[in-house]
Amino acid sequence: MCSKSVLRVALIAGGRSSEREVSLKGAQAVKKALETLGHRWEFFDPATDLLALMQRAKEFDCAFLVVHGPGGEDGTLQGFLDSIGLPYQGAGVLGSALAMHKGLAKQLYRLAGLKIPEGRSFTKEESFEKARDFAKSLGYPVVVKPATQGSSIGLTIVKQEKDLSEALEKAYAVDNEILIEEYLKGREITVGILDDKPLPVVEIVPKASETFDYTTKYTPGLAEEICPAPIGEELTKKAQNYGLIAHNCLKLRHYSRTDMIIKDQEIYVLETNTIPGMTETSLLPLAAKVAGYTFESLIQKLLELALRERR
């Protein structure tokens, strides 16, 4: 077991996406855990350091990814690491690309039998009238969000038609493709998967906004995270099963976190994160803690899963 040996870890965080600061914050927690575990690590930023990493790849046993958004979770970084022979935790190229595109992921969820909000994707080339007519057919409020961004960046809940144009501009400012979906008001939950097994369900209760948006996610005190979620045994098992189905239908591995909404005792799948937040207070580490993992043992587990790919 690699738990008995010192590992040389390339810690990869930062990047050029709008989630750069979130990535760097998570990397700080992972650095601390790696030091506690006794591993040797070196930091690499995909925005500036990939050439250096390629030249020195043989010096490391594995990479640990704490990169979010385009360029980190969409398969491009994973393909680079595959090409230089450096194993890493989390989804490979295909799974990363599928999960990153919310429109494609929704199609796969539906094919796998999961319930999803009604909606469709639009590109900048399509007319505003098409988007307006579709939103009207869903009925307000609707959700407008970029197709390939995380952390709720660019997301707007549009309550009236007069606000749709501004919401589209906000989403298109960070992505060339967007989604318009029906707005489901209910209980927000998330299900983590670790080593292809479901973790305890977490319920997220925003205190100052309607949704678990960017500000709420990363401002202490603006949301309450409850684990295990008090939703009853039947819904808990169903949510965990949905999380596992989402994980598998997107061709993921090692770990993931799928966000869902409970409305009228039905569970709707929203999206899946292939590199979940990795601070000590993030949602997947919280669920892992309830399952018996310290933050350090969670990081060790993920390192072992990465090395399993090399073997």
| Known binding positions for Mg(2+) | 259, 271, 273
**31-49 exposure pattern, b = at least 16 Cβ within 10 A, e = fewer:** bebbeebebebeebbbeeb
Look up 209 and say whether it is catalytic.
Answer: no
Catalytic, 151? Answer yes
Active site (annotated) includes residue 3: no
Cα gap 270→96, rounded to integer Å: 16
Q: CA 269, 271, 273, 279: dihedral to nearest 10 degrees? A: -80
Read off the DSSP letter of residue 51. Answer: H
Residue type, 155: L
The token duo for 237 is: 């098992």
Binding site residue list: 259, 271, 273
Residue 99 and residue 150 in contact, taking contact as beta carbons nearer than 8 Å: no
Catalytic residue among 17, 18, 151, 152: 151
Which three-class secondary structure state does DSSP give residue 34? helix
- In the set 19, 73, 181, 203, the catalytic residue is 19
Please give the positions annotated as active site.
Answer: 19, 151, 282
